[in-house]
Amino acid sequence: MITIEQLKSFYTFADLPRADLLEIARCGEVRDFNAGDTIFEEGASAVSLYGVLEGEVELSILLDSNPENA
């Protein structure tokens, strides 16, 4: 479970009441990813909200959907 303190580190959640933060924390989880891991892919259904607690994330988009031109 993500902690209230971790949630408050995000601007979006910083000013929410404690009761709301507790509810969000109950639904959330902390996940670790390794360098090079794919977290989600462009066009995939949105089923999660991700926040970066530590480290960096690189985002990229495919400009040409033709694999021969990749």
pLDDT tens digits for range 29-45: 999 999 999 999 888 99
51-60, Cβ contacts within 8 angstroms, sequence gap of 24 or more: 51/10, 53/6, 53/9
Q: Which domain holds residue 35?
A: 1-70
Instruction: Provide, rounded to the nearest whole percent, the portion of the chain with pLDDT above 70.
Output: 91
CA–CA dist 29, 50 (Å, integer)? 10
- The average pLDDT across 16-34 equals 95
What pLDDT is recorded for position 69?
59
Between 1 and 64, the higher pLDDT residue:
1
> How far apart are alpha carbons 25 and 5 in whole angstroms?
10
Q: Are 8 and 25 in contact (CB under 8 A)?
A: no
> What is the pLDDT, as a whole number, of residue 27?
93
Q: Count up the domains in the chain and report the number.
A: 1
